[in-house]
Amino acid sequence: MTLLRQALRFSSPLLPFICRRCRTYSTQAGAVKRVISAFRSVSGDEGVSVGSAVREQHGRDESVHSLYTHFHMRLPIACFPLLGGVCLNLRKMDQVLDLHQEDFDVTVEPGVTPKGLNSYLRDTGLWFPVDPGADASLCGMAATSASGTNAVRYGTMRGNVLNLEVVLADGTVLHTAGKGRRPRKTSAGYNLTNLFVGSEGTLGIITKATLRLFGIPESMVSAVCSFPSVQSAVDSTVQILQAGVPIARIEFLDDVMINACNRFNNLSYAVTPTLFLEFHGSSKSMEEQVSITEEITWDNGGSDFAWSEDEETRGRLWKARHDAWYAALALRPGCKAYSTDVCVPISRLPQIIVETKEDLIRNNITGPIAGHVGDGNFHCLIVLDPNDPDEVQRVHSFTERLARRALAMDGTCTGEHGIGLGKRALLREEVGLLAIEVMQEHYRRYSALDFLTTRCQENKVCFKF
């Protein structure tokens, strides 16, 4: 932690500014060499790498956005510097710092993952249920406001973070709820914690997170149910929620997605629209939840209802769901995947999924649908040939239509993937210009770049080297 603060303080006078004219990062001549030297003085030669292979590994994610690894051109500091710069790898900060069993909370460093935390908690009767699929960093999950399959019952990261320790651009350490504070609720001042949850790394580097924990349920039961149509499967989802069933997970997979999962994981589910479901609770409450759910699904034409309480069988089921990205990629070897998501009010879910499915078929796009439909959120895992300009254009047009379809239904252009690079224009449409200006003002204040940005405008030049 001290090293990170020192590194940022060494580099902050040399930080780049963002030119509002050309939207590029710039820095003074020779600054990069000085920053590298400063970093090495803090963390040693072994703690700094400028090799191309390492930079390429850390300069991209699973998206199709372009990769820039020209370290000498720009100098943003982030955990994922897509435009080049300094990538902070915090995985060695992997300690569970403070566990308060009686208060159901824990504080972790950024290298701790959900699996690692739940392994640490295995003898306490507690667990952390937010499950985005990939075993991601918990502080990274906070930065992106991650959610996943359990969100319908336990909420997203936004509702499960009590406090954050954040290092700002000048090395200042901020405790968003006050140092050491961990109340379940507060009305003291601005909600700075939720300002940083979902900020996607634009406001600071999260170095500790205090999280809510939950008791491990007495019983867990999973189920798979097939349906004759997309409409009937999604109608069942809405009706189950409207009936007040406290379902833990309810995931929708269309016929293309379930076929991909079968092939990738050597399964044999019916290749029709399908729901994966899971229930948590006492044995007595489980009986009621299962009974109501079965009745609703039967009324909507559901069949092949297969239940399992066995942990191994349930594990295979959810592994298949979590492998959906790689299963979709395997449909077209050699191609790339592009994932997009939207979220709408639950009552509009049947309409938007049916319209989206029709849009995919009409435009000959390979786009398996999988979604956390219990909270109105679903994904299209599009597989395309990036060397086919016509297909790329069709996919781009489809994703624009999908997002605007969600906005027209009072939803959001992204339920959990975030704005990133691909949805900045859509964010403006969703929240309006005034909200964007407020966000930009927060960014300038927290990132300490406003002065340099102004100077760039006044000089009307951008320095690169």
pLDDT of 452 above 80? no
Is the pLDDT confidence value at 69 over 70? no
Residue 154: closest CA among 176, 132, 136: 132
User: Residue 4: its pLDDT value, please?
Assistant: 57
Average pLDDT value over all residues in the chain: 84
Spell out the residues 6+ positions from residue 377 whose beta carbon is closer than 8 angstroms to its own.
147, 151, 341, 342, 343, 371, 415, 416
Residue 230: Cβ-neighbour burial (10 angstroms; 0-12, 13-18, 19+): buried
pLDDT(107) > 80: yes
Tens of pLDDT, residues 198-220: 988 888 889 999 999 999 999 99
Instruction: Give me the pLDDT at residue 446, please.
Output: 58
Looking at per-residue confidence, does 439 or 227 come out higher?
Answer: 227
Which of 31-40, 278-287, 409-418, 423-432 has the lowest average pLDDT?
31-40
Query: What was the pLDDT predicted at 76?
Result: 53
Range ranked top by mean pLDDT from 11-25, 38-52, 68-82: 38-52
pLDDT interval class at 35 (50, 70, 90)? confident
pLDDT at 68 > cutoff 80:
no
* Alpha carbon 306 to chain centroid, angstroms: 30
pTM: predicted TM-score of the whole model, two decimal places: 0.81
Torsion angles phi and psi, residue 109, rounded to 5: -85, 165
pLDDT band at 449 (very low <50, low <70, confident <90, very high): very low
Mean pLDDT of 294-317: 89
| Strands of 30-171, DSSP E | 77-78, 86-87, 96-100, 105-108, 126-127, 161-167
Residue type, 301: G
Q: Is the pLDDT of residue 189 over 70?
A: yes
Greatest CA separation found in the chain? 72
5: its two tokens: 């603060």
